[in-house]
Structure 1
Amino acid sequence: MRLTMVGTGYVGLVTGVCFAATGNEVVCLDLDQRKIDILKQGGCPIYEPGLTELMEKNVEAGRLAFTTDQEAAYRDAQMIFICVGTPTAKNGETDMSFVWGAADAIGRAIKALGPNQEPKVVVVKSTVPVGTTHAVQERIRRIVGHLPFSVADNPEFLKEGAAINDFMKPDRVVCGVEDDRTAALMQEVYEPFVRQGHPIYIMDIRSAEMVKYASNNFLATKISFINEMANLCEAYGADIARVREGMCADKRIGNQFLYPGLGYGGSCFPKDTLACIQMGNQSRVHTQLSQAVHDVNQRQRVLFFKKIEQHFAKEGGLKNKTLAFWGMAFKPHTDDIREAPAVSLMTLARSAGARVRGFDPVAADNVERENPGQFEISDGLYETLRGADALVISTDWDEFKSPDFAKMKALMASPVIFDGRNLYKTGAMERAGFAYYSVGRAPVIPAMVS
């Protein structure tokens, strides 16, 4: 099948590459010439394990191409997937400008092709408020008149760091359609990915749009819930690790997305939770739980920073202290720093007068590009610690899990760790001679360190 991806961001590029891998002819369209130049030269504008290699393989096979030419990208496409960004605006609402721009361009392309064309299927894959796909349909219809086309909604469920596997072996595929022909085409293009028995759910468009928001809002709720429980554990002397073990043994609860820490970040959970709140405001539905999930999440990083402030209060505060940060991406195996707790904490520390130094295996360039000159970026794990008054662990990369504690202690000005991901056992930290603060567990306080 001939497919066009509109947008070469995270969703568009992963989707296009994976569709090409099953034999489809895929064109990835983007108006950003810099991105297209990088892709044509064999580079990849995002970090995602396995993506570059799979992309190169399909380019070499002639199944994958990149362009800024809208007319060429749309002309022969049987299905057009809108995969553009829908960022959150400053007022908390979803910015739909890229979606509307794509819809208008597709409408003009369909109009130019005239009445003898094969009807194109315009698939909205971007995460959009309920009702958007029909708005796209109406927008195109105003341009093309009676020329044939159809629309569908096809939400993505990709985890950054595991996106290739998620696409190739999905838990489910959700397709919102209005007619049998579109449903058949959606089933045809996704059939290679569900041969292990995972379902393709064909449903109405508005329900498909809502599935994505309901899913992400629920996962965000689990994260905020376990963090609230962790805060209660700290207040009452319980251990969240033991509490979690006992709680998650209940099969009704399970253990996914129930890890205490600094809260969720990235491009999905924050944006989608706010979108549910926005949809509630617009429809006069009081989304009290969604608002609480968001508030708890934002407060979590502030509460963690207070631990840092309280530790250094007896030394006159953070002014002129050096804080080393391990991890700056919002999660491991990605270079995405959108809504990253680490960046929030680094910004708070810098505002308090601290010198901030950070290390991340893949996200360092993005941090420097988005925050030029604000933070010192280190090239090495241990080099980051040299002369540091404390280490803050903000992303749970594998290489942070079994470090050389003796080497760390020798490099640091003072042996203090603030662990926002609960990577280490408190007993081991006490034996190693560190002051150690984590989430939902009793701290190894300085007075206890030998």
Structure 2
Amino acid sequence: MFGGTLAGCSGAGDTKGDGGAGTAAGEVDYGDWNAVLEAAKGQTVSWYGWGGDETRNTWIKTVLAPALKEKYDITLDLVGMDINDILTQLSGEMQAGVEEGSIDFIWINGENFYSCKENGYLWGPFTSYLPNFNDFIDGQSPEVEYDFGSPTEGFECPYGKAQMQMWYNSDIVDAPPTTVEEFKAFCQAHPGQVTYPEPGDFTGTAFISCLIAGVVGKDKFEKLSSLENPTEESVLAVVEPGLDYLRDLKPYLWKEGATFPADSSTVATMYADGELILNMGYGAPQDLVKTGQLPESTRSFIFDTGTVGNSNFMAIAANAPHKAAALVAINEVISPEMQLSIYENIGNISVLDMGKLPEADAKAFADVPLGSTQIPLEELLDHRITEAAGPVIPILEKLWLTRVAQQ
């Protein structure tokens, strides 16, 4: 997920679909998919997003891009940039009144999506134009209707799910803890060999969210995904027992909880060096094991009470020069064929509703062979907890700092 926020945005773009009934001569009727396919032919469409995931980049370049070219005569231009630079470019072009900008569609999430939509920098609603969205995605699912608490309202389409998992060294640990009670006992039995990144780091915040949810319960924790105008008081009312648990846990952690590693990469290094026996992250570390960055004995587990997850989304710029090609590309990304390929090659959980798929396609997902670090898809989805809404996150991190770290 991208970090950063869009600040100082003003102005407005056309946030309504510029197709449909009554379109003027030369305009595309985006409600007519055949017309969209025809208009998209020969276009070069740009997909802007974080470029630091080489596995994802390789998949886009070697699987998605060739498919778009062969099937639809669309050339895909993958542009890897930091999200803050993308938002600066988008807002600059919009505020300058550039009718056809440089960005077609964006990998975007959370507060960045909310800010862009509110300022009129996104085009839509568009998901109703997508055949694969209509056929295979549950549009009423909270994970589709909301992005970190912000209503999506058809202005972005999900393309992959991620879920927090814990990783352990099976050469050292026989059986990982599966409840928060067992986790505390595990830390007591291995003093100084377990910790987590300081919340403020995305992984650290997600990990304490898993523990808090395990203490207060899934239903109560998920109220944080729908809090309107959250305050310290309203968030504390939900999470206080979890904060008490985290404070009680501190003496058994690395350096007795007097300090925490600054980020997830530091924790990963400490785990790889044997200083820690537990690590964590979004998804299975299969690629990290394959490349030798983590021990081959690494395995994954989740708590019986669940772990938090989120979705990655795609949105179209309001001044995108190639909207038809953007629609076709997004529709292809959420096709059963591409979603299966993403699951096989990247490890992202599919955004498709398995109950809506033809039997053969659903079976293909179930039949994907799992690596040594991977957890079955059904097990993950059965233990999935919706993350807290975007505005709740900094409040949760502040409460952790004052009521856990500084105590």
TM-score by length of 1: 0.27
Quick one: higher RCO (CA 8 Å, sep 6+), 1 or 2?
Answer: 2
